Amino acid sequence: MCQTCQPAEDAERKAGRLHQTRQRKEMTAVAAYAKAHRSVVCWLCESRKPPKGYSGRWSGDHVDAGVLGSEILPAHLGCNSARGSRSVEWFRAHIRDNGLV
């Protein structure tokens, strides 16, 4: 990396946003695709309709939460936020056990 770009990357890394900055275009494209195609379902809750009380806006979610270069799949913003860095198995059990689906 060049000396001009390095300080900006260091600032993003320090702020914990490096993966978001690097993959923002891909995440935005995945969300737009999901919004436009009714056959797409959230990879976390496995439904087109979000769980009760969750935002139905679309986002791109890392399969391996927060890992730069991880595959990005469509997810409801609410599902993505609720999952955080936990496993998809934890999230699915959480929405099932709490009667959210």
Query: What would the pLDDT profile of 27-53 be if each residue is shown by its tens digit?
Result: 899 999 999 999 999 999 999 999 999
- Least Cα distance to 46 among 68, 73, 19, 11 occurs for 73
- Cα–Cα distance, 44 to 61 (Å, whole number): 9
Tens digits of per-residue pLDDT, 49-94? 999 999 999 999 999 886 777 899 999 999 999 998 889 999 999 9
Paired residues of 62 in beta bridges: 72
pLDDT band at 1 (very low <50, low <70, confident <90, very high): very low
pLDDT at 18 over 60: no
Q: What is the pTM of this model?
A: 0.77
- Cα–Cα distance, 21 to 94 (Å, whole number): 29
CB 75 within 8 A of CB 60: yes
Q: What is 23-97's CATH number, 1.10.357, 1.10.30, 1.10.3470, 1.10.10?
A: 1.10.30
List strand residue ranges (DSSP E) for 2-78, in order. 58-62, 72-76
pLDDT of the residue at 50: 95
Residue spans of the domains in the chain: they are: 23-97
